Every structure is written in structure tokens, then in C-alpha cells.
């Protein structure tokens, strides 16, 4: 236990001798027998699998929704009291909804598996004094591991020897630039992961040089392991859609139970049989429940996923579609999301002036020759550049300008070199020239390189480098650096022979300054426009990155995340550590950029915004993003550059890694929510009309509709139009409105008053037609026919009312004449199909007997049709006053 506890120590703050002693190892490595003991003690070097849910468990979890529980209760009551048909229909709807839910969410828990698969298959270690190759799962703390370019680091390692070692850690830290490693002790024990330069971390990539180190963490005791543990223990957040459906189910249940109890009491008071009233009350309660709602919501969401997939946004679970539409905050990683994740030369200082990357340049100018010669980039046969991102950027620049780099290097081959070292920050190569002389090219940090320069190349003219010129060059370096550009300087000299002393003293002296380059991981071309559109839609973009503060701030200003003249708004991970959660919750709105952050910081930022009542989307592509992706209301992974971990933890994956696709998805999400609102308004106003019709008719002693009539109306008039409403196009001003926020419900934006007055209209019109039919009978001498005609007319009126009313809910407040009657062809076909199914039970002999309805004459049909159509002008009048009231209120 004592040795396991040691794995949690800050090894980067300890020297080699101390660590070797604590890990009970030597520079020759462990013996095989000792390694076997440690495998038994620590376990294999792999990440915990985590508990995966079976398909059956996932299926059962679909029934936790409150509305589903209400429907199951309704089905049970219906079956107990003999209404088996209704019970079967409800059960079919519920099961179908569960199956669709499981199908969409089948891959929702792949994050831990993906982390495990990322482990390096093999590693070179010292065992019994020899270097051997082992499966990475056999590594143990105390092993001495060897690293070289191309390796994937198989464990967390404290480096003890290096030779120009660079490791790319963007998947863990978010930094696009490979980290130059060192072996010196770091005295600050609170330093972030990105600044622990004497460490190599599991699943990072060695891009340059070689190294050797002590394994100090394996499996779940690595930094990646900590992320895996955070993923396994993070809480699943309920989406706004799920919260809304649960809330709606509770409201409906309470309202329905109150109405059913009142109806039962009133009926008993009026002298009706208790069993008759119980069955009538249950029929009313079942009729009032929109049993098709869960399935309709699921179908609308599924239709939304199909449309979003065509626009490069792949949805991994259905509620994410709607959640996008309510997003207030988009917390986005910088590298690979807002930027290209590819270092690019942006400015070149040559011949005393700064020129942009697009300017013409002489390919034989020394600055171009040095950046391509003093460079270890390999050019594959297919043109792919392999090597350190900084160096490949230089070669790519030259290629883009028309240089055949392979050919030039073949004509002037490298014959000697002084490799890069972090202490001197320089690299030099020596090349044979056709005339027998030798070209020495040196690149590195401007301040270090200038110390070794005595002359400067100005348009081919070699001049003495005085202190005044040096100051100008250093000021230029500073100006470029403040623009978040990484600056490298180039120098050269021509010598008659290869120096005998191939060291910095023998090679890197008396150089001629050639120029400087400024490079950056540039923002995506479309990202700035996407940020602008997001702001117009009331959505706040927040950049969260592992990069340096200056770089993050500069990119944020270029994108518009920070205003050009805005002061502050940037916070580092170290500064965030000094703020407790309570204070941070009050200050989170002050910051739009976070730099040098860890995975824990990202989760804190997301949670702080959530505590502020905001709905948070988190984008990311690295392993380090996964916990925050899972914590956020909606996690958005990158499909191209993203790790399998980030994809597995996400609710949505961008197939094109394009930030602007998120904005498109938000618009689709807003449309989906609006269409769900329309479906709910349509269904509940129809059900309210049915409840009022039955309730008032019972109070008046009218036997107006039987349960079979209500069931058939619900079946044929609810489902098809409600689903077709899900295909309504987005309203023109959808992205000009602010996010509706977490507190908004399906009843917001005027839906509740609309469905109430519209339900009253439907119930009132139906009762009026029944009353008219009983007082103006076509067969006054046959009371049975009078009742049958009146019941049939009420049945037809209520059904057609709902179909015509479906046109009204195309928009909550806008006029139908503005929205358009016939733009949605699917909707029109759904109305015709529903009308046909409603009519056949009245028109077809035999079928009308089964439904206890009669044939109607032309006059009766005209009244039914006229009464049903009247719902459109009535609602138009109310909408007109609603719009006028809204304008006056504003």
C-alpha cells in the first residue's frame, strides 16, 4: 500500500536519485522476477474496463420517464376495466418508443473502451540489464523505458536522459505544438500538466529525438487513467427535453386526476351508478392522456437527426437534438476546433521588413534555405510531411512557394549537424555546395541566435550587425510574439571546409542574420463567421484551451470571442485554482477565455455555467476533453481529428470538424423544439377539447361520445398530423432570438394560453353541433336516430376540428396566411390521410355499425364541415390580438 501511495507523488519535483530510490530500481532497470511481483501488486498497465450496461438494462431504463409511467398505469387501468384495445395500443406505443431510444443510445458508453484501445502495443524497456521489447500492459512502476521518434508513450514517465526530445501532447493538454523536454527538477509542485516538461505521459506521441525515463505511473495511476476515472464516475445530466417531458407528465397527471375525480363526484351527486361513473371517469382520464406523445417526440427527434446528419452533424442520442436548440454557452477547445491544429507560417521578416505569407519571396534567399535545410522533416513519396509540426510548417511554406525541397537537398546534401538542445535553443546543419564550399544553416530562438551573429544579410548585401540593428530585430521579435506568433530566427555562413569541432562553439559562431518567421496554429476560415452568428443568436462562445495565455487571447480576439478593445476576460488554470467553487460561480460570467487548463478545470467551468442556470455545450477532440464533454448538457466531439475517447463521451460528433456546423445544428435544434411545441400544442388542445366535451356533456346528462369514438379520433387525427408538424421548416427569425434557457418549458412563448383557448373552442364547437343536431333532427320521429345522428355529427366535428386546427399550430403567434397553408407537402398528405380514415367509419356500411354511428345527409355534413373550418378564423382573430398585445407590451 505504501509503494502504491508513492505513485501519487509529484515526481517532476524530485531528482533522479530520489525517484530511483523510492521506486526501488536502478538505471539498469528491474529484474524479471521483480517485474512479476510488481505486476501482481499494481496490476497490468491498462485502463479499467468499467461496467457496461446490457441492452436489456438500457431497454428498462427507457421506462423511467414519468410520462411513460403514467401511460403504463393508464394501460393497466384500461385492461382491468375491460378496455383491452386501448391498453394494447398504449403498450405498443410505449414499447416502440423504448426500442427507438435503445437503438439511438446503443453506443453511448464507449469512452472507457476507447481509452483502453489507445494504449501503445509495445514498449522498449530495460530488464535484467538488457533492452527488450514488451507488450505495454506488462510495464510496471520502476521500469526504465526508452523513447524515440515515432513511439507512443506507454506509461507516465519521469525523464532522466534526453537528446533533442519533443513530445506532442495535444490530446492530453490541448496544445498543438510539440513540447521540448528537459530533465531538470521543477520546483513548483502546483505546475500544470502542460508545463511538466521533465515528464512524458501515457498516449502522447514522440515526434523528435530520443529519451530515457523511469516509469512512475501505470494504468489508472496515469494522467489518462485519472481522466478515465472521471468519466466512469461523472454524473449523467438530464437534458432540458427530458426535464420538460417529466414536468409535462406530472402536470398532466395532476390535472387529469383532478378532472376525473370531480367528474366522478358530480356524476354520483346527480344520481348516476358509481360503476358507470367510475368507467366514464377512467375513459376521460385515458382520453386526456396523449399516449402518442412520447413516440411522436421520438420520431420528431429522429427526423431531426437525419437532417442534421446531412449537414455533417451526427447525433449519438436523440435528446441532444433538442438540447442544441436551447444552448446558452458553447465551451470550445481551441486546437483543432477553432483552429486548424496545424502550425503555419504567417509572417516572414526578411530584408528589414515584415511581409505576409502570401507575398512573393526569392526561394534562394537565405531565410528560405535555412528553414528548409536546417530541418529534419521527412517527405514521403506521396508528398506527406512527417516530423515536428514546427519544422513541417517551414517545409510546407517552401513547397507552397514552388520550391522542390527534395531536389534542393539532393543538390546540397547535409554532411554534418549540431542537433537541437533545449538549453541553447538552436539547431545547425552543414551542407555541401556545388562549388566545394559549405553552407552552414542555423535556426532557433531569436535572442539566442543574435548572440552568435556578427553580420546581417540585407538584399544580398552583407553588413555589420551593430547594437542598434540588434535592438530593432529584438523589438520586431517582441512585436510578433505579442501577436501570439511563435518566432524563429534564421542565420547562415559560408565556410571553406567542414569545421573539425562539430559543436556550438565550432559551428554556431560569426553567423550572418538572415531573417525571422512568425508561425501560429491559425483559426479556421469559417470560425469567425460562426462566432458572429452564435453571438447574434444570443449564444456565448467560451474558449477553453491548454495553450499559453497570450496565444489563446490573440486567437480569441481574432475570432471575436473577445472584443478587440476588451480588457480582461482571460483566466489561466493556475489562477482558477486560487478561486473556490462558490466564488467562481459568481465570477464565471467575467471570462470568455481560459488558458493552460487541466481536465478538472474544464469540468469546473462547465459546472459553474450550469449552476448559473445556463445550458452548456462543450466541444473537444482530445482525451482531456472527455470528462467535460460528458458533464456538459451536450458534448460535441470532432469526427476527423477527435480521439475515440472524445467521440465516445459526446452526444454529437461533427463529421467535418467545422465549428460553423455547430451553429447550423443549433438552428436545427431550435426548429426541433419549436416543432415539438407545436405537436404538444396540437395534441393537448385536442385532448382538452375532448375532456371538456365529455365533462360538460356528463354534467348536462348527454351521452355524447363513447370511448371507442375518442380512441379512434386520437388514433387517426393525432398521430399523422403531429408527426408531420415535426417537418415544418424553421421560422425565418429562429436565429435572431436569444436562447430560451433552462427554465423554459413546452408551455412557454404563449403555448399554454393558446392550447387552453383552442381546446375550449374545440369543446364548445363540438357541444354546439351536438345540441343543434338534437334540436334540429333529420328524423324527429325516431329518438334513436336523433341520438345516432347527433353523436355522429359530434364525432365527425371533433375529428375534423382537430385536423383543421393542425393548420393553426404551424405557428404559435404568426398568421397562417403568413406561414403558408401548403408549404409542407408531408403535412398536407397527413391531413388528407387522417380525414380519409375518420370518414370511412361513417361512410362505409358495416363499419359505421361497429362504431355505432349513422349515415349523414348533405345538410348535416355541411354543418359539420362549416363548424370544423370555423376554428381557423376564430384562432386567427385571437392571434391578431396576441400580436398586437405583444407589440404594445414591448
Active-site annotation, residues: 333
Measure the CA–CA gap between 212 and 113, rounded to whole angstroms.
29
Secondary structure element (H or E) that encloses residue 325, with its range: helix 319-325
Alpha-carbon distance of 709 to 711, in angstroms, equals 5
Question: In terms of DSSP H, where are the helices of 159-222?
Answer: 170-173
Report the C-alpha gap between 844 and 258 in whole angstroms: 39
Tell me the three cell numbers of residue 451: 548572440
Axis-axis angle for helices 66-80, 274-288 (nearest 10): 150
Q: Which residues pair with 212 in a beta bridge?
A: 146, 161
* Opening angle at CA 357, ends 353 and 360, nearest 5: 75
Distance, CA of 138 to CA of 30 (rounded, Å) = 12
What SS3 string covers 784-829?
A: HHHHHHHHHHHHHHHHHHHHHHHHHCCCCCCCHHHHCCCCCHHHHH
Helix (H) or strand (E) holding 407: helix 405-411
Matching residue, cell 559562431: 509
Dihedrals phi, psi of 712, to nearest 5 degrees: -70, -40
Distance CA 675, CA 723 (A): 9
CA separation for the pair 334, 330 (Å, rounded): 12
Between vectors from CA 456 to CA 451 and to CA 461, what angle results, nearest 5°? 165
CA dist 233 to 228, 236, 313, 630, 796, Å? 9, 9, 27, 10, 56
Q: What is the CA radius of gyration of the chain?
A: 36
**What span, in angstroms and rounded, lies between the C-alpha atoms of 560 and 73?**
53
Q: How far apart are CA 179 and CA 194, in angstroms?
A: 8
CA nearest 885: which of 735, 726, 750, 691?
750
CA atoms within 13 A on the CB side of 835: 15
Beta carbons within 8 Å of 99's beta carbon, 6+ residues apart: 59
Distance CA(330)–CA(539), nearest Å, equals 7
The number of angstroms, rounded, from the C-alpha of 534 to the middle of its chain's C-alpha atoms is 15
Which residues are CB-contacts of 374 (< 8 A; sequence separation ≥ 6)?
Answer: 427, 428, 429, 441, 442, 443, 490
Bridge pairing between strands 540-544 and 593-595? parallel
CA distances from 392 to 201, 343, 387, 388, 405 (A): 23, 8, 6, 6, 12
Q: Which of 629, 547, 664, 559 is nearest to 594 (CA)?
A: 547
Question: Do the Cβ atoms of 169 and 179 come closer than 8 Å?
Answer: yes
CB 808 within 8 A of CB 875: yes
DSSP secondary-structure letter at 714?
Answer: I
Amino acid at each position: 500500500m505504501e509503494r502504491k501511495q508513492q505513485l501519487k507523488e509529484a515526481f517532476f519535483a524530485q531528482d533522479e536519485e530520489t525517484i530511483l530510490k523510492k521506486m526501488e530500481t536502478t538505471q539498469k532497470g528491474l529484474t524479471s522476477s521483480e517485474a512479476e511481483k510488481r505486476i501482481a501488486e499494481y496490476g497490468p498497465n491498462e485502463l479499467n474496463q468499467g461496467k457496461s450496461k446490457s441492452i436489456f438494462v438500457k431497454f428498462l431504463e427507457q421506462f423511467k420517464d414519468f410520462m411513460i409511467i403514467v401511460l403504463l398505469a393508464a394501460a393497466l387501468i384500461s385492461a382491468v376495466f375491460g378496455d383491452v384495445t386501448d391498453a394494447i395500443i398504449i403498450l405498443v406505443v410505449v414499447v416502440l418508443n423504448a426500442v427507438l431510444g435503445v437503438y439511438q443510445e446503443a453506443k453511448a458508453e464507449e469512452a472507457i473502451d476507447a481509452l483502453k484501445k489507445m494504449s501503445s502495443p509495445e514498449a522498449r524497456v530495460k530488464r535484467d540489464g538488457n533492452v527488450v521489447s514488451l507488450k505495454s500492459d506488462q510495464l510496471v512502476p520502476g521500469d526504465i523505458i526508452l523513447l524515440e521518434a515515432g513511439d507512443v508513450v506507454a506509461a507516465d514517465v519521469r525523464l532522466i536522459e534526453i537528446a533533442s526530445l519533443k513530445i506532442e501532447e495535444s490530446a492530453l493538454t490541448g496544445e498543438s505544438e510539440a513540447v521540448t523536454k528537459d530533465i531538470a527538477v521543477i520546483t513548483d509542485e502546483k505546475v500544470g500538466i502542460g508545463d511538466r516538461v521533465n515528464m512524458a505521459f501515457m498516449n502522447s506521441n514522440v515526434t523528435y529525438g530520443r529519451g530515457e525515463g523511469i516509469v512512475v505511473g501505470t494504468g489508472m495511476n496515469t494522467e489518462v487513467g485519472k481522466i478515465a476515472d472521471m468519466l466512469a464516475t461523472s454524473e449523467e445530466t438530464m437534458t432540458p427535453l427530458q426535464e420538460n417531458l417529466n414536468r409535462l407528465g406530472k402536470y398532466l397527471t395532476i390535472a387529469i386526476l383532478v378532472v376525473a375525480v370531480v367528474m366522478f363526484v358530480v356524476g354520483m351527486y346527480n344520481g348516476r351508478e358509481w360503476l358507470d361513473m367510475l368507467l366514464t371517469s377512467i375513459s376521460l382520464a385515458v382520453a386526456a392522456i396523449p399516449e402518442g406523445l412520447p413516440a411522436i417526440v421520438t420520431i420528431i427527434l429522429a427526423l431531426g437527426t437525419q437532417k442534421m446528419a446531412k449537414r455533417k452533424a451526427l447525433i449519438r442520442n436523440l435528446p441532444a437534438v433538442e438540447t442544441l436548440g436551447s444552448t446558452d454557452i458553447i465551451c470550445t477547445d481551441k486546437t483543432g476546433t477553432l483552429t486548424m491544429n496545424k502550425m503555419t507560417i504567417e509572417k516572414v521578416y526578411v530584408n528589414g521588413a515584415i511581409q505576409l505569407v502570401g507575398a512573393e519571396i526569392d526561394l534562394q534567399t537565405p531565410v528560405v534555405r535555412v528553414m528548409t535545410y536546417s530541418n529534419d522533416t521527412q517527405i514521403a513519396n506521396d508528398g506527406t510531411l512527417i516530423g515536428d509540426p514546427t519544422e513541417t510548417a517551414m517545409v510546407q511554406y517552401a513547397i507552397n512557394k514552388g520550391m522542390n525541397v527534395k531536389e534542393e537537398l539532393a543538390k546540397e546534401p547535409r554532411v554534418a549537424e549540431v542537433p537541437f538542445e533545449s538549453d541553447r535553443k538552436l539547431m545547425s546543419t552543414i551542407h555541401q555546395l556545388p562549388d566545394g564550399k559549405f553552407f552552414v544553416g542555423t535556426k532557433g530562438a531569436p535572442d539566442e541566435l543574435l548572440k552568435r551573429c556578427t553580420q546581417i544579410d540585407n538584399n544580398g548585401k552583407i553588413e555589420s550587425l551593430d547594437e542598434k540593428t540588434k535592438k530593432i530585430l529584438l523589438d520586431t521579435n517582441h512585436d510578433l510574439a505579442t501577436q501570439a506568433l511563435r518566432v524563429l530566427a534564421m542565420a547562415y555562413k559560408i565556410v571553406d571546409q567542414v569545421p573539425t569541432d562539430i559543436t556550438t562553439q565550432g559551428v554556431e559562431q560569426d553567423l550572418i542574420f538572415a531573417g525571422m518567421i512568425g508561425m501560429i496554429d491559425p483559426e479556421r476560415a469559417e470560425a469567425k463567421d460562426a462566432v458572429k452568428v452564435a453571438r447574434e443568436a444570443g449564444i456565448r462562445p467560451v474558449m477553453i484551451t491548454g495553450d499559453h495565455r497570450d496565444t489563446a487571447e490573440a486567437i480569441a480576439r481574432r475570432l471575436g470571442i473577445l472584443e478587440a478593445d476588451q480588457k480582461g476576460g482571460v483566466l489561466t488554470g493556475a489562477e482558477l485554482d486560487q478561486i473556490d467553487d462558490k466564488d467562481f460561480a459568481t465570477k464565471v460570467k467575467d471570462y470568455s477565455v481560459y488558458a493552460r487548463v487541466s481536465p478538472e478545470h474544464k469540468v469546473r467551468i462547465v459546472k459553474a455555467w450550469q449552476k448559473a442556470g445556463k445550458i452548456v455545450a462543450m466541444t473537444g477532440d482530445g482525451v482531456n476533453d472527455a470528462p467535460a464533454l460528458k458533464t456538459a448538457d451536450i458534448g460535441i466531439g470532432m469526427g476527423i481529428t477527435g480521439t475515440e475517447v472524445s467521440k465516445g463521451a459526446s452526444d454529437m460528433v461533427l463529421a467535418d470538424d467545422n465549428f460553423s456546423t455547430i451553429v447550423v445544428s443549433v438552428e436545427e435544434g431550435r426548429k426541433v423544439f419549436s416543432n415539438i411545441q407545436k405537436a404538444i400544442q396540437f395534441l393537448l388542445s385536442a385532448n382538452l377539447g375532448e375532456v371538456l366535451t365529455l365533462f360538460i356533456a356528463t354534467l348536462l346528462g348527454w351521452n355524447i361520445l363513447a370511448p371507442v369514438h375518442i380512441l379512434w379520433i386520437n388514433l387517426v387525427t393525432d398521430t399523422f398530423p403531429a408527426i408531420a408538424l415535426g417537418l415544418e421548416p424553421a421560422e425565418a427569425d429562429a436565429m435572431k432570438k436569444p436562447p430560451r434557457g433552462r427554465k423554459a418549458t413546452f408551455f412557454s412563448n404563449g403555448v399554454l394560453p393558446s392550447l387552453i383557448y383552442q381546446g375550449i373552442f374545440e369543446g364548445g364547437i363540438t357541444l354546439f353541433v351536438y345540441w343543434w343536431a338534437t334540436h334540429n333532427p333529420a328524423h324527429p320521429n325516431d329518438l334513436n336516430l336523433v341520438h345516432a345522428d347527433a353523436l355522429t355529427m359530434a364525432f365527425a366535428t371533433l375529428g375534423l376540428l382537430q385536423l383543421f386546427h393542425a393548420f393553426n399550430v404551424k405557428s404559435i403567434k404568426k398568421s397562417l396566411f403568413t406561414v403558408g397553408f401548403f408549404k409542407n407537402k408531408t403535412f398536407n398528405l397527413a391531413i388528407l390521410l387522417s380525414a380519409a380514415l375518420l370518414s370511412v367509419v361513417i361512410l362505409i356500411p358495416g363499419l359505421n355499425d361497429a362504431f355505432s354511428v349513422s349515415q349523414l345527409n348533405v345538410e348535416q355534413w355541411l354543418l359539420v364541415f362549416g363548424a370544423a373550418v370555423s376554428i381557423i378564423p376564430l384562432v386567427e382573430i385571437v392571434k391578431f390580438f396576441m400580436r398586437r398585445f405583444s407589440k404594445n407590451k414591448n
